[in-house]
Amino acid sequence: MTMPLFDEDGDPAPKSGIEWLGSQACVLRGLALARADALLAALSIVSTQAPFRHMLTPGGVTMSVAMSNCGPLGWVSDRRGYRYSPVDPVYGQPWPAMPDALRVLAGEAARQAGFDTFEPDACLINRYEPGTRLSLHQDRDEQDFTQPIVSVSLGMPATFLFGGLTRSERPARVALWHGDVVVWGGVDRLRFHGVAPIKGDAHPLLGPVRINLTFRRAGPALTPPVVTPPSAHTPRRTAPP
Ligand code: MD3
Ligand code: FE
């Protein structure tokens, strides 16, 4: 038995499996597909509590990608710069909690890519409309570059630009479809990357929209508590006789 490459309408069959983009970067084709309904339901609740907004760049330009966040920290941009904040600046309230369905998917994806423990404290939610793009950049606002980044694509497809460690290196183009999950870490963590302008037909489930979830460890690394051994000069309390 072989898998048909096209369905009865002539559409290509969804891909599955793992594709390596770098030695520590891969696409997990369709990993989120079976869970898309649950993810979208969770996102709809989050975006009622923290609606999508167009942030200002430090240069005063309105970003074409609309954003929201969930989890302990959220990525924000304004005239003062880029940073992670525990508070949604629109309401002065903490960001909504990270739904379990999202956290569990991010952990599974990281593990499949070879990162055994990933405990994200930030989930940035990007919303693209046709014509919207994200120019080439590095993600360097996080405290710990040893932690991977997990990204989940939903809705309209996108051409992801996967560059090198310098801006001048010409990026590879990788198509990302609804349900694809990408993991980047280790030596690939600081690669330049971006998203080409979104084009094509509206998505059957989401309409003319692409949603990308980016999970990160933005704050301090989770390190085991440091145990200080008793010093030789500290008098030791002995058990009473
Ligand atoms: C490649 N978002 O929000 S995460 C972003 O489709 C962002 O919205 C993309 O880039 C989007 O900053 C997808 C992609 C990503 C994150 C970190 C990387 C790609 C990376 C680190 C190294 C190489
Ligand atoms: Fe990025």
Tens-place pLDDT, residues 67-121: 999 999 999 999 999 999 999 999 999 999 999 999 999 999 999 999 999 999 9
Percent of the chain with pLDDT over 70: 88
112, 118 contact by CB (below 8 A)? no
Residue 153 CA, closest ligand 1 atom number:
6
Residue with more model confidence, 7 or 226: 226
Report how far residue 97's alpha carbon sits from residue 63's, in angstroms, rounded to the nearest whole number: 24
Tens digit of each residue's pLDDT (9 = 90 or more) over 12-29: 667 789 999 999 999 999
Percent of the chain with pLDDT over 90: 84
Domains of the chain: 17-48+100-216 (2.60.120.590)
Angle at 201 between CA 208 and CA 67, to 5 degrees: 30
Tens digit of each residue's pLDDT (9 = 90 or more) over 152-182: 999 999 999 999 999 999 999 999 999 999 9
**pLDDT, mean of residues 187-207:** 97
| Nearest ligand, measured from the Cα of 190 | 1
Structure tokens at 128: 């693209």
CA of 194 to the centre of ligand 2 (A): 7
Neighbours of 28 (CB within 10 A): 22
Ligand 1 neighbourhood includes 189 CB (under 6 angstroms):
yes
Question: Bridge partners of 12?
Answer: 6
Mutate to test the pocket of ligand 1, among 136, 192, 212 (most ligand atoms within 8 A of CB): 212
Would you state the pLDDT for residue 221? 87
Would you state the pLDDT for residue 84? 98
Largest CA distance in the chain: 85
Please state, rounded to an integer, the average pLDDT across all residues of the chain. Answer: 92
Structure tokens at 29: 């084709």
Report how far residue 199's alpha carbon sits from residue 152's, in angstroms, rounded to the nearest whole number: 18
